[in-house]
Amino acid sequence: MSRIAFVNGRYKRHSDAVVHIEDRGYQFSDGVYEVILVKNKNFIDEKKHFDRLDYSLTSLDISWPMKKNSMRQIMQELVYKNRFVTGIIYIQITRGVARRDHSFPKGIKPALVMTARRLPKSNDGDIKSGVSVITIKDIRWGRCDIKSVSLLPNVLGKQEARNQGAYEAWQIDNEGFVTEGTSTNAWIVSSHGVLITRGLSNQILSGITRLTLIKIATELNFKFEERQFSVDEAKSSREAFLTSSTSFLTPVTQIDGVVIGNGAVGLLSMRLLQAYHQYINSSEI
């Protein structure tokens, strides 16, 4: 299936979509990205994604390559050109192309790459049966709040999960608390029925689905605490799940081989997921 990408001002066939070898994204991971869910041609939580993109760019002192409105038009065009109504938009912005030198080059334009595609695969199966996660030491850098392409530790963690037949790896800080998954946020429902996810800091990414679910849970009057939780607390929790723009809310039924709750997908998780689906389906541009 041929796909169309947007690369530095031009629409390109996927096979011809290239960047220069001295793009600083390639040599220094000097760039940021976003993945936005497209549902019935609507960009879900678009404003939150743009706000986070702005935060990432500002944190790295990279300027916007174009106005948000222009970017939105390209996103719409990409959905049209790639002939889908439900899928994802991937946006990557790097500091641009410059002769290799660690420090910031002056007077160069940021590079912008955008791709669009149908969702990789349906995760209905994972959602119905739940997934297993392993735990690994969090060895990432100190600014995980920036959604940068400096993702090598995340790649290694995800692969470690795959090697062990798991869906995701939850990363553990030096104090034994769960930070987050390698590409998802981590949640539990305590034995007292309290929904819990870690608070924002430099150690985790402010997930958009995480933000939306907090809002939904509050509206549903769920008991909710934004705080850190240990691996032990997670293993003895009633329910657990992970969230991201592409995995929505995916129940976790095993952590390091320990069965969570009764091993089935939790009721609170399912209620949240239903409410999230309602939210997505009612979203309008």
41 is catalytic: no
Among 42, 56, 82, 92, binds a copy of itself (CB under 8 A): 92
The two tokens of residue 180 are 């987050």
Please give the Cα distance from 29 to 33 (Å, whole number).
11
CB 93, CB 36: distance < 8 Å:
no
Residue ranges in 10-29 that form contacts with a copy of itself under rule CB under 8 A? 17-29
Sheet containing 4-7: which strands, arranged edge to edge? 10-13, 4-7, 111-118, 87-94, 31-39, 42-43
Among 75, 78, 113, 195, binds a copy of itself (CB under 8 A): 113
Cβ proximity to a copy of itself: between 61 and 124 the closer is 61
CB 18, CB 71: distance < 8 Å:
no
Please give the Cα distance from 264 to 92 (Å, whole number).
38
Decide if residue 82 touches a copy of itself (CB under 8 A). Answer: no
The two tokens of residue 236 are 């003895």
The DSSP secondary-structure symbol of 275 reads: H
x/- map, 159-198, a copy of itself, by CB under 8 A: x-xx-------------------xx---------------
| # chain residues binding a copy of itself, by CB under 8 A | 51
Decide if residue 60 touches a copy of itself (CB under 8 A). Answer: yes
Give the catalytic positions in this structure.
147
Residues contributing to the site for a copy of itself (CB under 8 A):
5, 7, 17-30, 33, 60-61, 90, 92, 99-104, 113, 115, 120, 137, 139-143, 148-156, 158-159, 161-162, 182-183
